[in-house]
Chains A and B, each alone.
Chain A
Amino acid sequence: MNDEQAYTVVGGRGAMTVFEIYIKTTPERLWEAITSEQMRKRYSFGVGTVSDWSEGSEYKAAVPGVVEIAGGKNLEVDPPRRLVQSFTALWSEDVRREGESRVTWEIEPVGTSCRLRVTHDQLSETANNELYGGWPMILSGLKTLLETGEDLDTPGSLRYSGAAG
């Protein structure tokens, strides 16, 4: 089903990146790890994402009082399979100028594992690579957390975790 989904170009913003990872876990646990503020912190540079996760709701990824990372709306929420979010990066003036793009999370069970695909699209052709450059590190940390219960402590991966909130 996911393979057949057709992506469309919106407003000439045709650039798109796709990241894929297999994680030995259940769709439910993976969904929880994506939507739980505390779990998210452990693999997203120490930054939690807050939302009520209803369709059309807003979300914000930030270390309160220290740094705002991203925000947007939850456009489609279909636990534990599919989450589509609008995405506006907020961590610097440069990335803020890039405006809104879109992030689609798709979870598909494969045997005793799950395939997680993160598609970041509706990016401008000249999009700053900082916008999507963090995904491999985030997904690697997510895999480590779910499979071992431990934090991935590679350089930068817990960048803001010591920051005072």
Chain B
Amino acid sequence: MDEVFKALADPTRRELLDRLFEQDGQTLSALEERLPMSRFGVMKHLKVLEGAGLVTTRKRGREKLHFLNPVPIRLIHDRWVSKYAEPWASALSELKKDLESSENEENEEDER
């Protein structure tokens, strides 16, 4: 978990994650174009993100694609946030259910 926080402590690396969040599965060249930084700089930061498990890569054809792996952040969430979120989440899902069921009823009425 230390590595995750260290990786996230740098604004450029957060920016890289933002770019992957917008569009997952990018090549080094595509990421380089989107950041005011040398190829070497992007590589260096990607390496830190990969080491922390926040970025993972897959090959497709000849391309090496970089993906945002949100799981370590989910683990942080589950460790500290979950108990606070519980009542809200259940209340919200009830609300969603109510809204959706009344919406369905309305739709059914429209169809009639």
Contacts and interface: CB of A to CB of B under 8 A. Distances in A.
A139 to B, nearest CB: 5
Interface stretch (B8-16, B28-36, B40-48, B67-75): B67-75
Contacts of B89: 155-156
B70 to A, nearest CB: 5
Contact of B24 (A16, A135, A140, A155): A16
B16 to A, nearest CB: 16
Contact of A5 (B53, B59, B77): B59
B38 interface: no
B59 A140 contact: no
Given A8-B61, A16-B25, A117-B56, A140 B78 contact: yes
A112 interface: no
A119 B85 CA distance: 28
B58 A119 contact: yes
B93 A156 contact: yes
B23 to A, nearest CB: 10
A109 B37 CA distance: 36
B53 A22 contact: yes
A3 B25 CA distance: 14
Contacts of B25: 15-17
A4 B64 CA distance: 10
Contacts, number: 74
A144 B71 contact: no
B27 interface: no
Interface string A12-32: 000111111110000000000
Q: Which of B70, B86, B90, B93 has the most CB of A within 10 A?
A: B70
Interface in A1-53: 3-9, 15-22
B71 A136 contact: yes
Contact of A137 (B53, B74, B90): B74
B101 interface: no
Given A16-B24, A18-B67, A154-B82, A6 B60 contact: yes
25 contacts: A3-B57, A3-B59, A4-B59, A6-B61, A7-B58, A15-B24, A16-B25, A16-B60, A16-B65, A16-B67, A18-B58, A20-B56, A20-B69, A21-B71, A136-B71, A140-B74, A152-B78, A153-B82, A154-B77, A154-B78, A155-B82, A155-B86, A155-B89, A155-B90, A159-B93
Closest 8 interchain pairs by CB? A155-B89, A136-B74, A154-B82, A18-B67, A7-B60, A20-B56, A20-B69, A21-B71
